[in-house]
């Protein structure tokens, strides 16, 4: 795993922000379908820039401008504008939690039109597409990098900034459960909570706000889950699916299904979990999770998608059973490939 930003990168980032006049047009951009880390990092940094006296800070993301329900009401939300209203040629553009230009959708041209582009991210696959890149694959979340940059900029941590960064840190570490949860992550959480934010209240909002219809829908979908042994190594795979008809019947929007994989991957007998979410008559968004023994990104890449060792996905077509057969076959291949002695 590569190291974090060099001191020269930090110096360049500080210079880019400090050198800018108070009325400069600053555009913050995070990836399409923003999650807690993308949105929290972006808004927390935006509030920090405002504290520095920068007046024209706007934040946006590509695609539909709706913020996921569990992430609504974050401090700094007032900085958000729809992508269609975003400044076409800002003085500074800052990108959050996006591993590559493609994650910026229709906003990708700002990398060219802006005077300078700054990239803040923690994905190992980051392509360093900015003029200045603060990329640290060891960081549990992009918000860890935002916190360090704000600290170096001399922005005092306050409760509003802390709430944004706390939501980012908590969601991207699976509520402090993932392996990347280092002592430094907990020390940051301690500093954030010390500003007076309420972890209980915030956590209820981001984790305990599933519509009742979704609770029943999850029930139906879990009730049809299946467990299959993966031929090559006897490692089980648990899988299930949700159709468009399921959503309609329970009156739910597709975004409620994002948490579904978490209710499936807890299965003790399975190393790999797979959830297929129907997106159109003949198309499925398929999510894969691994507990570590199998690199599910290899499975996803083989099926035209991408991701990481522990979490990946692809777009599937046809009948769900056949699609799952395809996943199983690639899973077996990945297991064989991961034998010692193979490249």
Query: Can you give the binding site for a copy of itself, defined by CB under 8 A?
Result: 170, 174-187, 189-191, 193-194, 198-201, 203-204, 207-212, 215-216, 218-225, 227, 236, 238, 263-270, 291
If the CB atoms of residues 113 and 175 are measured against a copy of itself, the closer one turns out to be 175
If the CB atoms of residues 193 and 301 are measured against a copy of itself, the closer one turns out to be 193
Long-range contacts of residues 223-228, Cβ cutoff 8 Å, at least 24 apart: 225/264, 225/267, 227/267, 227/269, 227/270, 228/324, 228/328
* Whole-Å CA distances, 322 to 233, 284, 325: 21, 12, 5
If the CB atoms of residues 199 and 318 are measured against a copy of itself, the closer one turns out to be 199
Shortest Cβ 147–a copy of itself spacing (Å): 14
The answer to whether the CB of 258 falls within 8 A of the CB of 287 is: no
If the CB atoms of residues 127 and 182 are measured against a copy of itself, the closer one turns out to be 182
* Whole-Å CA distances, 223 to 73, 217, 218, 242: 34, 10, 8, 11
Shortest Cβ 161–a copy of itself spacing (Å): 16
Shortest Cβ 27–a copy of itself spacing (Å): 33
109 CB contacts (<8 Å, ≥6 apart)? none
Shortest Cβ 218–a copy of itself spacing (Å): 6
If the CB atoms of residues 14 and 225 are measured against a copy of itself, the closer one turns out to be 225
Shortest Cβ 321–a copy of itself spacing (Å): 18
Shortest Cβ 69–a copy of itself spacing (Å): 8
The answer to whether the CB of 124 falls within 8 A of the CB of 24 is: no
Tokens of 204: 């209820």
Shortest Cβ 98–a copy of itself spacing (Å): 25
319: exposed, middle or buried (C-beta count within 10 Å: 0-12, 13-18, 19+)?
exposed
∠ CA 74-97-33, nearest 5°, is 65
If the CB atoms of residues 10 and 207 are measured against a copy of itself, the closer one turns out to be 207
The answer to whether the CB of 58 falls within 8 A of the CB of 45 is: no
If the CB atoms of residues 45 and 218 are measured against a copy of itself, the closer one turns out to be 218
The answer to whether the CB of 32 falls within 8 A of the CB of 105 is: yes
The answer to whether the CB of 270 falls within 8 A of the CB of 263 is: no
């Amino acid at each position: 795993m590569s190291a974090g930003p060099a001191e020269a990168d930090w110096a360049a980032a500080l210079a880019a922000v400090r050198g800018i006049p108070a009325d400069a047009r600053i555009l913050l951009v995070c990836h399409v379908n923003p999650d807690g880390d993308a949105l929290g990092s972006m808004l927390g940094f935006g509030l920090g820039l405002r504290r520095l006296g920068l007046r024209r800070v706007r934040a946006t993301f590509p695609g539909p401008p709706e913020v996921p329900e569990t992430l609504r009401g974050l401090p700094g939300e007032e900085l958000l504008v729809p992508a269609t209203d975003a400044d076409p040629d800002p003085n500074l553009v800052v990108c959050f939690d996006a591993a590559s230009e493609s994650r910026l959708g229709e906003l990708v041209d700002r990398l060219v039109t802006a005077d300078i582009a700054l990239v803040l991210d923690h994905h190992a696959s980051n392509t360093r597409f900015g003029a200045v890149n603060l990329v640290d694959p060891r960081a549990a979340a992009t918000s860890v990098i935002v916190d360090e940059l704000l600290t170096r900029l001399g922005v005092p941590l306050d409760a509003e900034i802390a709430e944004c960064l706390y939501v980012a840190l908590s969601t991207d570490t699976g509520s402090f459960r993932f392996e990347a949860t280092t002592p430094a992550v907990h020390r940051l959480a301690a500093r954030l909570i010390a500003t007076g934010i309420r972890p209980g209240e915030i956590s209820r909002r981001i984790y305990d706000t599933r519509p009742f219809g979704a609770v029943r829908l999850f029930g139906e979908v879990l009730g049809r889950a299946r467990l299959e042994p993966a031929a090559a190594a006897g490692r089980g795979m648990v899988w299930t699916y949700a159709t468009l008809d399921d959503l309609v019947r329970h009156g739910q929007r597709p975004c409620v299904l994002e948490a579904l994989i978490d209710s499936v991957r807890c299965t003790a007998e399975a190393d790999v979990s797979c959830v297929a979410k129907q997106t159109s008559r003949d198309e499925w968004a398929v999510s894969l999770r691994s507990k570590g023994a199998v690199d599910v990104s290899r499975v996803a890449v083989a099926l035209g998608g991408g991701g990481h060792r522990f979490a990946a996905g692809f777009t599937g077509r046809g009948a769900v059973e056949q699609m799952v057969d395809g996943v199983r076959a690639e899973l077996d291949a990945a297991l064989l490939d991961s034998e010692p002695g193979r490249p």
